[in-house]
Amino acid sequence: MSIFLNSEYGNNKLSIGQILSNPILFLAFGFGSGLAKKMPGTMGTVAAIPVYLLFIQTDLWVYSALTLIVCIAGVTICDEAAKLLGEHDFGGIVWDEIAGFLVTMWFVPFSWYAVLCGFVLFRIFDILKPWPIKWADKKVEGGFGIMLDDVLAGLFSAAILFFIV
């Protein structure tokens, strides 16, 4: 028995192999980070850091375009993953955390201090879900709903992070 992985995921009881071999599920599960038994959202945010480090190597326009693509594609990725899992906003779907972290870091100059602060701020807003994040989480359905609360958490985090750094 592994302390890191479940044997079945979602109401449709998908296996790890099914998740990792399906491109939509592989992305939705944050390249496998959402398979974590404990704190999959935090693990998804950890998986966002290498994506951020790759994106930050580009100029602001490319970073912006890539972040928008991640957010827009995330609506379909998360929606399809939820259907395949048979469960709306299953905890292992962490593509929204990746998008939210990229939004958090959008206009912030790179430093490891900024990455750490952005990580902590994003996790706080994603977990506590102050209004209107909680409203979006409860009221908006489908892939758009899965993505919206994390993008909002990213925007709130970005606003605070901008002033911190």
User: 3-state DSSP call for residue 108?
Assistant: coil
Which of 8-12, 46-50, 100-104, 158-162 shows the lowest mean pLDDT across its residues?
8-12
pLDDT of residue 8: 85
pLDDT of residue 137: 83
Rounded Cα gap, residues 163 and 17, in angstroms: 43
pLDDT of residue 99: 98
* 139-156 tens-digit pLDDT: 889 999 999 999 999 999
pLDDT of residue 5: 63
pLDDT of residue 4: 55
CA-CA-CA-CA dihedral for 42, 124, 106, 133, to nearest 10: 110
User: Domain ranges in the chain?
Assistant: 41-164
Residue carrying structure tokens 């980070």: 33
For residues 89 and 11, the answer to whether their CB atoms sit within 8 Å is no
Rounded Cα gap, residues 152 and 74, in angstroms: 14
* 38-70 tens-digit pLDDT: 999 999 999 999 999 999 999 999 999 999 999
Rounded Cα gap, residues 154 and 106, in angstroms: 9
* 79-110 tens-digit pLDDT: 999 999 999 889 999 999 999 999 999 999 99
Secondary structure of the chain in the HEC alphabet? CCCCECCCECCCCECHHHHHHCHHHHHHCHHHHHHECCCHHHHHHHHHHHHHHHHCCCCHHHHHHHHHHHHHHHHHHHHHHHHHHCCCCCCCCCHHHHHHHHHHCCCCCCCHHHHHHHHHHHHHHHHHCCCCHHHHHHHCCHHHHHHHHHHHHHHHHHHHHHHHC
* 24-46 tens-digit pLDDT: 999 999 999 999 989 999 999 99
pLDDT of residue 115: 98
For residues 77 and 34, the answer to whether their CB atoms sit within 8 Å is no
